[in-house]
Chain A
């Protein structure tokens, strides 16, 4: 479950290729144009490596942190089958984090460093998980619509240029299809149920609409920086493109259930084929991603607690002769 690559506006466009060997750079770019994948031991520009580590690491953190709001509901899921399904989904998300940490690791950052950076707030994760899942219906909306947004992003990114990331994403996408169906099933069940159930799912949709619109990130500034990352197939589509694809596929399905989306401007312009909508509050997005959201502290403190309390087991198993090797692929 993850949004789109966030471009760090502080990086200077020129610095992406500055100081790189022009011959190696040309070979690298030619390989990407031919549709070949880049593998861990290949030469790559420093900025390519840095951007991919940041992106894959954030993706991995999002899977781990994303398991927390949903995990809260396992003990209270209505019915045995739903408990089993939610447990399986949460376990999948944690498994996805393992696959993604491994992919990032092939680029040279250890898993210890990544987890330390997460816990100390140096690395980001998908902003939506800084919001609480207030009711059972919130978990249904998350499993359906947040996972739907993530699938759009992940399918697109699986066509990218870095081999280990693409392979991890392909595996992840095949598992996510169950999450989507499970989430949809839960939303349909509530929407076609009693008046109280309908109100519950409508309230959840109202609460989650802004985070859903935030999910793929703010509109990209047209910059040389973005252009280079697209040429390198690190970023595969603009944030707005991803958002349009999401709206195109899921707004009609939400309307099919007679639910109301809390945006009076939302409609598809039949002439241009483009969705009109009210821009979500991007100031709120910035504020929350920088730490001031309803659950930021809780998420990180819970992660810290889990690592600290598990430390003695890991240390007991450590062997003095172990030494670290970067994984192969």
Chain B
């Protein structure tokens, strides 16, 4: 085979391939899920996967794939097979979460009740002067 690249010419590659499968099952190893922390204090965020033969190599691959071109403080890798996840089909188990307003600060307001009580009992509203001043401006 002749190429414009002398390095390829030096390989003396055959003109035609023999059609054999080159890779066996698992020859690219297992996958690891990669978690990336941009800077100290940030959360680790899942960014993707790498193929590696062991955790040490997974870290090296993760550094190349996910730490090469952006700010990175720390990486975690974990075997994909070690992760247990919820099923998207069961997403409805989270559905009542936004309905529980008694768990939100914004659901608690009692000023109307305090003012009504103060008026009825002649208690001066200590913020009244400030409020009037603000209104006159």
Contact = CB atoms under 8 A, between A and B. Distances in A.
Contacts of A308: 22
Interface stretch (B49-57, B94-102, B105-113): B49-57
Size class of the contact patch on chain A: 35 or more
Interface residues of B, number: 47
A256 interface: no
Interface in A312-329: 314-315, 317-319, 322-329
A92 B65 CA distance: 9
B114 interface: no
B43 interface: no
Nearest to B31: A327
A305 B29 contact: no
A324 B48 contact: no
B104 interface: no
B53 to A, nearest CB: 4
B27 A112 contact: yes
Contacts of B61: 98
Contacts of A327: 31, 33, 49, 80
A9 interface: no
A297 B50 CA distance: 29
B85 A110 contact: no
Interface in A227-251: none
A72 interface: yes
Nearest to A134: B4
A168 B48 contact: yes
B88 to A, nearest CB: 5
Given A112-B27, A308-B22, A327-B49, 17 more contacts: A92-B69, A102-B48, A110-B25, A115-B22, A115-B28, A120-B17, A175-B69, A298-B8, A302-B8, A314-B29, A317-B54, A322-B30, A323-B26, A327-B80, A328-B80, A328-B85, A329-B49
